[in-house]
Amino acid sequence: MSTSQGRPPGRPQGRSGPAGLPRWDRCAVMGVVNVTPDSFSDGGQWFDPELAVKHGLDLVAQGADLVDVGGESTRPGAARVDAAEELRRVVPVVRELAAAGVLVSVDTMRAAVAEQAVAAGARLVNDVSGGQADPAMVPVVAAAGVPFVVMHWRGQSIDMNNRAVYTDVLAEVVAELRASLDRAVAGGIAPERIVADPGLGFAKNADHDLALLAHLRDLAALGAPLLVAASRKRFLGRVLADATGAVPPARERDAATAAVTAIAAREGAWAVRVHEVRASADAVRVAHAIQQAADQAAEPGTEAAADQASGQAGKATGQGPAGGVSA
């Protein structure tokens, strides 16, 4: 993967998305539809296919650019469902949403599910294992020619907490994620169709998650668009804990999620994956407006750019912008 996309120095990297999807001029918002009875934040709420489809349409109405449909919980400690059950849950929902004009992603670690979901209309495969859980996944995605989300992953949910051991979490996640990206490319997936996800909460504790969010630009140096999936996760619960250490339930972490969305958007993430869409949709638009203002101020010939240049010249000569000595 290339680590440079020819962007101006100092600007956030990773905004441009994968080939095969629309190009948004801001961070995209991916809404979550869990067709499961046991997901950590909304397990069972959208388990009925009709309710899942309605929820997906509601998310689009609230501002989601695309909807991620999953039929297997990946919460810490979750056991896997069999392939037949995952297919039963996912494919009808993908088909109905795609038929309604929704841009659909399928959240799966199984090649068979990915293949049938793409046939039903999914346009993106989001694999939390980054192609490691099923050896057939990368060839299937390569043959389908759809974009592929490669997440940092160290093993199945049932024991992933035991794998949250790092000497340098940023360096190790970057190295391991780069290896997964390289495997995907070697398996035939076009580099321009790959998205990277640092895997917040997967084999990571709260300190690890916060460290990764503090270094999104270093992750963007991988050269792939970034998907940030922080929604309602445990580390937010820890940040929001009260004086007794009690953490709020997952559904009370949406404001904190929107705060992460604003930061991720400002740092150049391609997309955020969230359960509650409206606040994050607003957040990315505000971040975009701020970036536009910064860009306009930096354009040659503008008054703001002239003031900035004058200030920089003053610093170089030890003079303030009005000719006085700088403090």
* Helix, strand and coil percent figures for the chain, each rounded to 5: 45, 10, 45
Q: In sequence order, what are the beta bridge partners of 127?
A: 150
Which of 89, 123, 154, 273 is catalytic? The answer is: 273
DSSP class of residue 325 equals B
Amino acid, single-letter form, for residue 42? D
Catalytic residue flag (residue 89): no
H/E element, 166: none
- Tokens standing for 56? 């997906």
- Tokens standing for 212? 């990764």
Residue with tokens 């069972």: 44
- Tokens standing for 264? 């991720």
Candidates 87, 70, 89, 88; CA nearest to 129 is: 70
Compute how many other C-beta atoms are within 10 angstroms of the C-beta atom of residue 164: 18
> Going edge to edge, which strands form the sheet with 227-228?
194-197, 148-151, 124-127, 104-107, 66-70, 28-34, 271-274, 227-228
Which of 233, 234, 253, 266 is catalytic? The answer is: 233
Amino acid, single-letter form, for residue 70? G
CA 182 to CA 102: how far, in whole Å? 30
Helices 83-99 and 49-61, axial angle in degrees (round to 10): 40
Amino acid, single-letter form, for residue 76? P
Catalytic residue flag (residue 273): yes
Active-site amino acid positions: 233, 273
